[in-house]
């Protein structure tokens, strides 16, 4: 009996190793077609890393120019030195190389020299959505612009989920990973945590939770709440939309009597909905049309963050809801979950990570 069990284990491990090998081979083949740069050229491209655009958990992004004489500006993400086999790097480059959509950042090339790894992609003059909102928070931003940003991100995710050769689940949708071009068109970036899967697959197997606290779907860190799937991106999108809406007045949580710097947005918004005072949180006056746009964003976002993944709409339905009439929408049930893992911190910066245990998240 022991011999049989041992033999079975070896067979399973062999199959898993073969599957992982096939996946890596497929990913490597995907990036071979891209322009590959030496690290020396990457350094020259960024003028020895002179202009920093931003920093994150995986590395630093610099502004650069292509070396082909065109003078085209680019963004160069140089990953932290790593002694690993580069699985996350290959995963990100392979994922981005499979995409072509107006709301997805275009990949222009890469560098892979041992521990020296870099990704070259189109330059976004307005930076991240997070930066755009924070810099314009004190001014009167156009609600139609914010609505169009939400619709653009929704279309980008719908493309990743339904219209790529392989379904891509991003797993780290947040304002910091949404970049803005010169026309304020939003583009999804940073595919370091993305997973590729067959379109017919509904549940994704993961060893570790992944994402950024404040945007992680509850099922990602607690299997009892449902299976992890593309609906996990839907949850993150909902929290991003609530961030867009709530960022118009970030002092509202304190004004409402909260002693916590982290406020669970839905609790805040549902109270306004119950009082039929949805717009109470906004200081500036709105036109009737703007009022409808904001209400639509709020209602769609609340549908996206339902605790049970099966209760959340798909991204193609979300695009339909955002572009449809307000009268067709109704208030969804209030989510039952209000744990720290789904709370957005007003003060703290969120770091992207892969988290090994749910107990660490709960802390």
In percent, the amount of the chain with pLDDT more than 90 equals 41
Handedness of CA 243, 245, 246, 247 (dihedral sign): positive
Mean pLDDT within 134-163: 89
Residues 114 and 133 in one domain: no
pLDDT value of residue 277:
60
The neighbour count for residue 340, using CB atoms within 10 Å, is 14
Is pLDDT above 50 for 202?
yes
Q: Give the whole-angstrom CA distance, residue 42 versus residue 109.
A: 10
Cα 86 to chain center, whole Å? 21
Length of the chain measured in residues: 363
**Residue ending a domain, choose from 122, 138, 163:** 122
172 annotated active-site: yes
Is pLDDT above 90 for 321?
yes
Is pLDDT above 70 for 82?
no
- 330 lies in some domain: yes
Query: Left, alpha or beta for 106 (phi > 0: left; psi -120 to 50: alpha)?
Result: beta
Residues 102 and 144 in one domain: no
For the CA atoms of the chain, what is the radius of gyration?
21
Average pLDDT score over the chain: 77
Residues 256 and 301 in one domain: yes
The neighbour count for residue 328, using CB atoms within 10 Å, is 10
Find out whether 252 and 281 touch, Cβ atoms under 8 Å: yes
Which residues make beta-bridge pairs with 196? Answer: 168
Mean pLDDT within 321-341: 79
When pLDDT is cut at 50, 70 and 90, the band that residue 83 belongs to is low
Known binding positions for ATP: 77
Per the structure, the count of domains in the chain is 2
Residues 113 and 43 in one domain: yes
- Domain of 71 in residue numbering reads as 32-122
Annotated catalytic residue: which of 172, 181, 233, 284?
172
Residues 95 and 181 in one domain: no
Residues 338 and 291 in one domain: yes
Which residues make beta-bridge pairs with 110? Answer: 36, 119
Q: Comparing C-alpha atoms, which of 256, 232, 233 is closest to residue 246?
A: 256
Residues 319 and 177 in one domain: yes
Phi, psi of 329 (to 5 degrees): -100, 150
| pLDDT tens readout for residues 4-52 | 444 443 343 444 444 444 445 555 555 556 889 999 999 999 999 999 9
Find out whether 168 and 198 touch, Cβ atoms under 8 Å: no
pLDDT value of residue 264:
59
pLDDT value of residue 71:
86
Angle between helices 288-304 and 143-162 (to 10 degrees): 30
Mean pLDDT within 234-255: 73
Residues 133 and 115 in one domain: no
Residues 113 and 133 in one domain: no
| pLDDT tens readout for residues 87-104 | 778 777 887 887 899 999
Is pLDDT above 80 for 227?
yes
Q: Give the whole-angstrom CA distance, residue 204 versus residue 223.
A: 11
Residues 244 and 338 in one domain: yes
Is pLDDT above 50 for 251?
no
């Amino acid at each position: 009996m022991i011999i049989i069990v041992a033999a079975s284990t070896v067979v399973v491990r062999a199959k898993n190793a073969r599957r992982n090998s096939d996946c890596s081979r497929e990913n490597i083949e995907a990036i071979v077609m891209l322009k590959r740069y030496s690290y020396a050229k990457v350094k020259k491209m960024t003028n020895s890393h002179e202009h920093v655009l931003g920093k994150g958990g995986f590395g630093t992004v610099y502004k650069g120019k292509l070396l082909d004489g065109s003078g085209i500006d680019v963004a160069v993400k140089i990953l932290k030195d790593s002694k690993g086999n580069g699985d996350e790097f290959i995963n990100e480059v392979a994922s981005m190389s499979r995409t072509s959509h107006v709301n997805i950042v275009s990949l222009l090339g890469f560098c892979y020299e041992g521990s020296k790894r870099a990704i070259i992609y189109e330059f976004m003059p307005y930076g991240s959505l997070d930066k755009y909102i924070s810099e314009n928070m004190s001014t009167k931003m156009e609600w139609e612009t914010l609505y169009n940003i939400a619709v653009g991100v929704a279309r980008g995710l719908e493309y990743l989920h339904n219209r790529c050769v392989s379904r891509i689940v991003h797993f780290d949708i947040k304002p910091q990973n949404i970049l803005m071009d010169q026309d304020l068109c939003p583009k999804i970036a940073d595919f370091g945590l993305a997973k590729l899967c067959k379109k017919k697959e509904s549940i994704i197997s993961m060893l570790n939770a992944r994402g950024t606290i404040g945007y992680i779907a509850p099922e990602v860190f607690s299997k009892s709440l449902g299976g992890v799937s593309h609906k996990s991106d839907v949850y993150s999108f909902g929290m991003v939309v609530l961030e867009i809406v709530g960022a118009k007045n970030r002092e509202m949580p304190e004004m409402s009597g909260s002693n916590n710097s982290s406020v669970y947005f839905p609790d805040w918004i549902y109270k306004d909905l119950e009082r039929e005072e949805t717009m109470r949180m906004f200081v500036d006056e709105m036109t009737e049309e703007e009022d409808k746009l904001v209400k639509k964003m709020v209602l769609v976002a609340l549908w996206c963050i339902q605790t049970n993944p099966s209760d959340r709409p798909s991204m193609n339905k979300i695009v339909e809801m955002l572009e449809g009439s307000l009268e067709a929408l109704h208030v969804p049930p209030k989510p039952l979950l209000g744990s720290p893992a789904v709370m957005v911190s007003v003060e703290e910066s969120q770091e992207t990570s892969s988290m090994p245990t749910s107990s660490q998240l709960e802390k």
